[in-house]
Structure 1
């Protein structure tokens, strides 16, 4: 495992990249296979993000984290704070999955699924349709203020603000019923704390997607820092084939560039102009590369125009780049197994098994019982009575009816019958009295009696939950 991301130094003179010059990066328009793939993935993720909160499931919002009630609804199942361990396992699985993907495929998460990258590409598209392509935006930046510039800039920021506000509403729609959120926001009746978070998320989206952009990836994101220790020589990276591309130089399409000792790279800088972080991939793998393959699409389009083979810039690995070009075709594509990858996959499998067992063993209702130490009394029949506080939670998203009984080989009984109806996700605290029949011979001994409260689901008889308790009594 390498300790750092290697940078291949090429003995050629070069222009400063946009990232090295500083200032705003204006990416050029391009098309290609990986761009279409990225748009498709971003479209699916955006649809899930903006649409899931609007789905109803059994008369309830499908996904909702109700902080005020401390309940998390997920497609018909209610999770409570005591289920936090399951969430911890789910987050651990996600973390190990990200590590495994990084070992295999580098920063594909950054390039195709990261919210920062996805929103940055969306904001760049809004900038393009209002201010034009890269060269037009550069001219607009340098031009003095005019009505045209004001209209274009205003249109861009209106789109940015609208997208940011939609993001803030969609995000908070997972913590407050989204329909109520939108209604209260439109009628200016939204509670102050919810309004704050809507506009805070909107403001951060506007700042990160519109202004900071690649600076979040290159200077603020911790993933860019620790990814270097995850990479090895077989990790999939965006790489430039220097053996094939050097020496660089301009030429006519019909010329025999090999006769002039030129490689396939025509030094057009298209790979630099489309890069969202403003780097030159020909200088070797760099920490700023997010693996989006924009340079691959751009270079392939140039190779097509020149009549050269694609793949001068491509998804590859350090091991392949170090091999002579003639030997690469003999390497079969596939995942190269190594210790770190196997360790991550084993950890994922173990955590998945634990999570599955936890979900399977998770009860659809929760019951706890606490004896009231201050309530020890005798009823009208002279029988000793203990009072308990029962806490019952309906973890489903349907109305449920429960019947309370006792399970004990001793003559204990409930002083009254209990049949309870709880709404979806409802919690109920109930005082319950349990009596011991006075003629029982155990009165000749001192101590306590162990028994179980049984809560039977009337709607689903196979669902029964028990909670142990003890009955304290005095000898006579």
Structure 2
């Protein structure tokens, strides 16, 4: 076995305590996990980070830039507006580069810090913890919710559950509006949705994403992480024994057992773990981190905060559960800078450099040339051999632009059509025109030519085409 691989530990299912002292199998989707509230530095970081991302997600579609929405991915018009820049399908290599950057950033972070994306930044985690917060405020703590669900449904409980689901649905609808608002003007969407003037598809997608949000964050929760998310399955390919994970120090913690605060654990033959099970009760995926590294762990640090609070109350040193590495847990030194991590980092930097290079070189306009395929050439009224073209000019800026058109590759050509045009922001101007050349100025049946589009600030685009002499 490679030294970089993490050893797989087979657990005795009877000895494993992973269900909040509940009966049943945690891998069974029908078993509900009642997540206990956890307080501590990592949970503050996760909570503040989650609120920041939520505000960013909800606020960006409402930002205006000039007379339009600052970020609008208008698929119908095939225009993707990012503040002062408009991208078109021919610029989508930038999107491909963004996906590559995101992939290698994920590989780099996972190799270095494990599944911190899942624990702190993943939308599934952010929305799930937000839904749990409403659940705690309206129905009570985890133990109270468990007892209530095991008992009879009272009028008071039904009222509180109704309020919870109303709050969940409101969040789900806001999420649906916001997501669809990145693809259609959000201010119009909100008004037209409630007046039923939005049309079938906008209403459908708002409700679709609302239902998905409500189902995923309200009901499925850890089922998504354990049973459906592919990331949990292939993350082991990026892990090694120097990857920072949430780990339990068995050497310090075992033998587990309850004791009074004043008792000396060494006299009792016990380790620092008092077997309070709080680390299990706060885990959103229902695992016991004391059983070792498991693919369900999302590195959210909830068990670390719970354990640190317990250690503090007992007067023990914190860090029984901590962000650590397999090497550190086995008493060896962690090697942070290692070939795999450096390789991912190097590729990530190269991709970021390519992305910004392409962004800097994005043309503020576009030009495409279509020849008339119905007639290769003809003789015009001036006795010239003429070819007909359609020029399509795209203004990618947010201001009206004036462009100058010209052609190279022909001797004394005559331009029939406009050579100076004004194009509005985001407009695709279709310009029919033709070129005429005296027969004696054509030395070959087919001549390579270039149409030149010139703008302000010495901007210029050249597009190659053909001029055909044969009639």
**Band the TM-score falls in, shorter-chain normalisation:** over 0.9
Q: Give the match for residue 354 of structure 1.
A: 354
Aligned counterpart, 1:102: 110
Question: Partners of 1:16 and 1:293 in 2: how far apart?
Answer: 17
Matches within 5 A, 1:173-188: 173-188=181-196
Indicate the residue corresponding to 2:460 in structure 1.
464
> Secondary structure of 2:59's match?
helix
Residue 403 (structure 1) aligned with residue 378 (structure 2): no
Cα distance in 2 between the residues matched to 1:167 and 1:5: 41
Match of 1:422 in 2: 423
Structure-1-length-normalised TM-score: 0.92
1:139 to 121, 137, 147: 147
Q: Which residue of 1 aligns with 2:385?
A: 384
Structure 2 counterpart of 1:115:
123
1:17 and 2:6 equivalent?
Answer: no
1:394 offset after TM fit, Å? 1.2
Q: Taking structure 1 as reference, are residues 260 and 9 closer, same or farther at Cα in structure 2, changes over 3 Å only?
A: farther
- Contact kept, 8 Å, 1:446 with 1:474, in 2: the verdict is no
- Superposition deviation, residue 72 in structure 1: 1.2
- Structure 1 residues 408-465: Cα deviation after superposition (integer angstroms, max 9, x where no partner): 4610121243322222221122111112246xx435x4423333222222xx242121
By how many angstroms is 1:76 displaced?
1.6
How far apart are the structure 1 equivalents of 2:289 and 2:450? 69
Provide the rounded CA distance (Å) in 2 between the counterparts of 1:241 and 1:394.
62
1:240 and 1:8 map into 2 onto residues whose CA distance is 17
Q: What is the RMSD computed on CA atoms of the aligned residues?
A: 2.2
Is 1:367 aligned with 2:367? Answer: yes
Aligned to 2:286: 278
CA contact (8 A) 2:139 2:161 kept: yes
Tell which deviates more after alignment, 13-22 or 376-385: 13-22
CA contact (8 A) 2:110 2:238 kept: yes
Secondary structure of the equivalent of 2:61? helix
The answer to whether the 8 Å contact 1:10/1:283 transfers is no
Contact 1:406–1:413 under 8 Å retained in 2: no
TM-score (structure 2 length as normaliser): 0.93
**SS of match in other structure, 2:389:** strand
SS of 1:259's equivalent in the other structure is helix
**Residue 100 of structure 1: CA displacement?**
1.1
Q: In 1, Cα distance between the equivalents of 2:462 and 2:283?
A: 61
The answer for the alignment partner of 1:41 in structure 2 is: 49
Q: Which residue of 1 is the match for residue 345 of structure 2?
A: 345
1:36 to 1:16, Cα distance in 2 relative to 1, 3 A:
closer
Tell me which residue corresponds to 1:6. 8
The worse-fitting range, judged by mean Cα deviation, of 107-116 and 251-260 is 251-260
CA contact (8 A) 1:395 1:424 kept: yes
Look up the SS of the partner of 1:315 in the other structure: strand
Aligned match of 1:150: 158
Q: For structure 1, which runs of at least 5 residues remain unmatched after alignment? A: none
- Whole-angstrom distance in 2 between the partners of 1:33 and 1:16: 24
Where structure 2 has 5 or more consecutive residues not aligned to the other structure, the ranges are none
CA contact under 8 A between 1:366 and 1:393: conserved in structure 2? yes
* Alpha-carbon shift at residue 13 of structure 1 (Å): 5.2
The separation in 1 between residues aligned to 2:18 and 2:362, in whole angstroms, is: 59
The farther-off stretch of 390-399 and 27-36 is 390-399
Matching of residues 24-35 of structure 1 within 5 Å: 24-35=32-43
Q: SS state of the match for residue 454, structure 2?
A: strand
Q: Would the aligned equivalents of 2:18 and 2:287 in 1 still touch at CA under 8 Å?
A: no
Q: After superposition, give the CA deviation of every residue in 1:1-46 in whole Å (9 maximum; x if it has no partner).
A: 6455633869995645248355211111221000000011111111
**1:347 to partner: Cα distance:** 2.0
Counterpart Cα distance in 1 of 2:18 and 2:420: 77
Q: 1:455 aligns with which of 435, 449, 453?
A: 453
Distance in 1, matches of 2:86 and 2:305, equals 45
How far off is 1:282 after superposition? 0.8
SS in 1 for 2:235: helix
**Aligned equivalent of 1:293:** 301
Match of 2:167 among 146, 159, 163: 159
Q: Are residues 1:442 and 2:441 paired?
A: yes
Moved more, 403-412 or 111-120: 403-412
Matches within 5 A, 1:254-265: 254-265=262-273
Per-residue deviation, residues 288-309 of structure 1 (Å, max 9, x unmatched): 1110000000000011111111
2:51 corresponds to 1:52: no
What is the deviation of 1:310? 0.4
